[in-house]
Amino acid sequence: MPSLPPLDIKKNINYAPHVVILGAGASYAAFPHGDKNGRVLPLMRNMVEIIGLEPLLQSYGVTTGYEDFESLYDSLAADAKYKDLTIELENAVLAYFAEMRLPDEATLYDLLLLSLRDKDVIATFNWDPFLADAVKRNRHIKNLPRILFLHGNVDVGVCVEHRSKGFLEHSCSTCGQPLKPTPLLFPVKQKDYTTNPFIKNEWDEIQFFLEKAYLVTIFGYSAPATDVEAKELLLNTWKNNNTRELAEIEIINIRPREELEANWSEFFVRQHYAVFDKIGYSLSFKYVRRSCEAFAMATLQQAPWKENNFPETKSLEEIHQCLQPLLVEEDNEQLTGEPCE
Ligand SMILES: [Zn+2]
C-alpha cells in the first residue's frame, strides 16, 4: 500500500513539499527577450555566439563544435592541453551571467516563487542570477520556498568553515567575512556532486525533499547527455518516495509531447503525470500557494477547491497585496481553500 501524504484535514494543510526543478528552458521562458538591459540569455546551442567566445576558442585552434557548448566543453575538458582554455571559458561565462539583471516588472520567476510556500522547494540547474534576484525582492513576504542551486550559481556565496550560505553581497553571520563564490558545474559527463561541500549540500537537500514530495514539476529541463548522473540521482530518490503512487509529476516544456514522455517515462507512475507547454498550467499557478492541498482535496478527499490564479498585473506590489489573505491563513495555520478576491 502506498503511504498517504501528511495531510491535516482539520487545518486543511498538506505538509508534503511541492518540488520544482528548473532547467535552461525555464529561464528562457521567463526572459525570452533577455534581461533588464536586453542582455540575451544564452543557451547551450548559442553560448559561443552570444557570449562571444569564438576569438578565445580560435586562439587555441578550436574552430568547430560551436553549435553545442555542452559537447564542446565536455571534449575540451577531457584533453589536458586545453586546461587553460577551459578556465578562460569558465571565467567568460561566469562574467556574462553575473551581469544579468531582472527586469523591473513582475516576472515568471517572481510568480513561481510566490506560488509556493516554505515547505516547498525550487531547485535550479541554471547559473543566471534571476531566481536569486527574485528571492531578494520578494523575501519580505516570508514563507517563500527553499531555493537550491544544483550546478552552482553566479549569485550565491558560502563560508565553508561556518557552513553558511547566502547571496554574494552578504557576509558570514559567524565570522563576518564576505561570502565566497560557489563553483559553477560545467557540462562534463562525469560531474562531481560530492567533493565541494556547497554542491554536496544542495544535492543532499534535493534528495531529502524529493523523497517526501507530493508534487514534482520539471520546468524547462531536458536532462541532457552531460547530466546522466543528475537524472539518475533524481530518479533513484524519486523511486524511494513512499507517496509516489498517489503523487503527481508535471513536465513543463515546449518540446514535442512524445519526446518528453519518452525522456521522463521512468519517473511516471501509471497516468499520474501531466505535460504542459506553459508553467501557467501548473497546479501551483492554478492554486497559488496551495498546490499540494488542492491536489489532495481533489484526488483523496473528492472535495476539489476552487481555482485561485494570480491577478493579471505586472505590478509586484499589487500581486503581494493580493496574496495577503493567503499569507494570513498561513500565519494562523488554518487554510480555507477560498480564492483571493
Ligand atoms: Zn564564516
If pLDDT is split at 50, 70 and 90, which confidence band does 135 have?
very high
- Rg of the chain over all Cα atoms, to the nearest angstrom: 21
Taking a 5 Å cut-off on Cβ, the residues next to ion ligand 1 are: 159, 162, 172, 174-175
Cα–Cα distance list, 77 to 69, 89, 95, 97, 188 (Å): 12, 11, 20, 21, 7
Cα 146 to ligand 1 centre (Å): 21
- Residue 189: is its pLDDT beyond 90? no
Judged by DSSP in three states, 178 sits in strand
Cα(154) to ligand 1 centroid in Å equals: 19
Look at 165 and 2; give whichever has higher pLDDT. Answer: 165
- pLDDT at residue 280, rounded to an integer: 97
Considering the entire predicted model, what is its pTM? 0.96
Nearby residues of 170 by Cβ (< 8 Å), 6 or more positions away: 157, 178, 179
* Mean confidence (pLDDT) of the chain: 95
CA 156/CA 133 separation, integer angstroms? 10
Mean pLDDT on 116-125: 98
Segment 97-110, tens digit of pLDDT: 999 999 999 999 99
Mean pLDDT of 248-273: 95
pLDDT band at 114; cut points 50, 70, 90: very high
Give the SS3 label for residue 329.
helix
- For range 287-305, the mean pLDDT: 96
CA of 171 to the centre of ligand 1 (A): 8
158 CA to centre of ligand 1 in angstroms: 8
Work out the average pLDDT over 197-209. 96
Which grid cell is 171? 557576509
pLDDT tens digit string along 71-97?
A: 999 999 999 999 999 999 999 999 999
pLDDT at position 310 over 90: yes
**Angle, in degrees to the nearest 10, between helices 316-332 and 130-138:** 70
Helix (H, G, I), strand (E, B) or coil at 179: coil
Task: Kindly report, residue by residue over 145-187, the tens digit of the pLDDT.
Answer: 999 999 999 999 999 899 999 999 999 999 999 999 998 999 8
Report CA(1)–ligand 1 centroid distance (Å).
Answer: 46
| 173 Cα: distance to centroid of ligand 1 (angstroms) | 7
Per-residue pLDDT at 69: 95
Please report the pLDDT score of residue 2 as a whole number.
75
Q: What is the pLDDT of residues 37-56, one digit of tens each?
A: 999 999 999 999 999 999 99
Ligand 1 mean position, distance from CA 202 (Å): 18
Residue pair 213/16 in contact (Cβ under 8 Å)? The answer is yes
Q: How confident is the model at residue 1, as a pLDDT?
A: 66
